[in-house]
Amino acid sequence: MTVVYEHAFNWNEWFIIITILSLNFLIIRAPKVFSLIEGLAYYLFGIAIVLFFDHTTSVKPWDLYDVNDNSKYQFMDFLYYVMNGPFSYFFIYLYSKLRIKGHQTIFYIFIWSGFSLLLEWFGVNIGLFHYDKGYKMYWSISIYMIIQTLLIIYYHIILKTRK
Amino acid sequence: MKVICPMIGLPLTVFFTLIISLVYFFLRKHFTFIENSIVFMAITMVTTNVMTILTLNLKWMKKTDNPLLFPAVLLYRDIIIPLLILIFINVFYLSFNRGRKFISFIIIFSCLFGIQALLNFLGLFEFTKWNFFYAGIVNIGYLFIGLGMARTVLFVSKRSLKQ
């Protein structure tokens, strides 16, 4: 059965659209650190991994939460996944630009996990996520840390293969 | 036909995942790590979207509701199909004549179709308004999308070298 939360085009939709436009504009304007193909890889990583986790935990048999206005898969849901691309790009962009090394990486992951959690809390409040089915927001902390660690490993493998 | 041991689906999918991963790992590759990873992520995005739309929105097929068998669906969706496509594009681009390219197409298509049929038989998927003819078309679609992605990635890679 499809659960409908709302029909209106409101904050959750605007949040997705504004974030996509503004962050992509920032990507274009920011000084280039990566080649086109590397930038594309980091961008796609964010989309693919969030799509994977969402379509694993928010569908049956687990079905722990819903995204956007109803429990079906909508175009706005897809845009939400696209919205995650610039975040993963900037995660690695700043990691590279700030020359994060060694134990600083742990703090860097903590800071980004905190920031991601804050965005998620905002998302819950504007109706982007619906946790009525039992999902707890603190479960996301471990997921963020795993994803960010994987992204850093991916970055270092690309660096190695570049040489 | 009733399956004697329905839980065989998970170990069998793990077995296929390992075999296909090993084949991919030892394969002589035409594409670099970053190019392969981009195609991999793009294909997982396509397969995830296709599966969610077919099962959740259109309800043309059902996937297992058994939480213990569900990881097998994930392995099939996010590793088996994308890796088979990666094997295909690498072999395709390394083949010099059309005959070999066509044979690689047939072999990979048979693998995709065979694994899909086996998972159906084991109860991981159930066709409601779907059949093997449509499944075959979707599998052919994956192969062509893989080729399209490979071409795009090669183009982006060349542009990155010029930068």
* CA proximity to A141, closest of A149, A129, A133: A149
A120: Cβ–Cβ under 8 A, 6 or more apart, which residues? A129, A137, A140
**Cα(A124)–Cα(A3) distance, rounded to whole angstroms?**
16
Alpha-carbon distance A160 to nearest alpha carbon in chain B (angstroms): 10
- Round to whole Å and give the CA distance between A35 and A38: 5
Interface test with A, best of B38, B50, B70 (most A CBs within 10 A): B38
Q: Which chain B residues are closer than 8 Å to A161 by Cβ?
A: 32-34
Tell me the mean pLDDT per 10 residues along chain B, length 163.
71 96 96 97 97 95 91 96 98 94 97 95 92 96 97 94 76
pLDDT at A71: 85
- Which residue positions in chain A have pLDDT lower than 50? none
Distance between CA atoms of A41 and B35, rounded to whole angstroms?
A: 8
The Cα of A151 is separated from the nearest Cα of chain B by a number of Å equal to 12
* Predicted TM-score (pTM) of this structure: 0.94
Do B41 and A47 make contact, defined as CB atoms within 8 angstroms?
yes
Distance from CA of A158 to the nearest CA of B (A): 6
pLDDT at A122: 96
**With an 8 Å Cβ cutoff, are B33 and A157 in contact?**
yes
CB distance B34–A41 less than 8 Å? yes
CA distances from B104 to A109, B94, B107 (A): 43, 11, 5
Instruction: Judge whether B157 is closer than 8 Å to chain A, CB to CB.
Output: yes
**Which residues of B fall within a CB distance of 8 Å from A35?**
160-161, 163
Say how many CB pairs under 8 Å bridge A and B: 74
ipTM score above 0.95: no
Nearest to A48 among B33, B45, B64 (CB): B45
**Yes or no, beta carbons of A36 and B163 under 8 Å apart:** yes
**Residue A132: per-residue pLDDT:** 86
Subunit contact B160:A154, Cβ cutoff 8 A: no
Which residue among B57, B159, B163 sits closest to A73, beta carbon to beta carbon?
Answer: B57
Other Cβ atoms less than 10 A from the Cβ of B110: the count is: 11
pLDDT of residue A70: 86
Select the residue of A36, A48, A154 nearest B156 (Cβ to Cβ).
Answer: A36
Nearest residue of B to residue A70 by CA position? B57
- Distance from the Cα of residue A21 to its chain's centroid: 15
Is A2 at the interface with chain B, CB within 8 A? no
**For testing contact with chain A, the best of B10, B35, B45 (most A CBs within 10 A):** B45
Q: Distance from B99 to chain A by nearest Cα, in Å?
A: 31
Structure confidence at residue A89 (pLDDT): 97
B55 has a chain A CB within 8 A of its CB: yes
| CB-count burial class (<10 Å; 0-12, 13-18, 19+) for A110 | middle
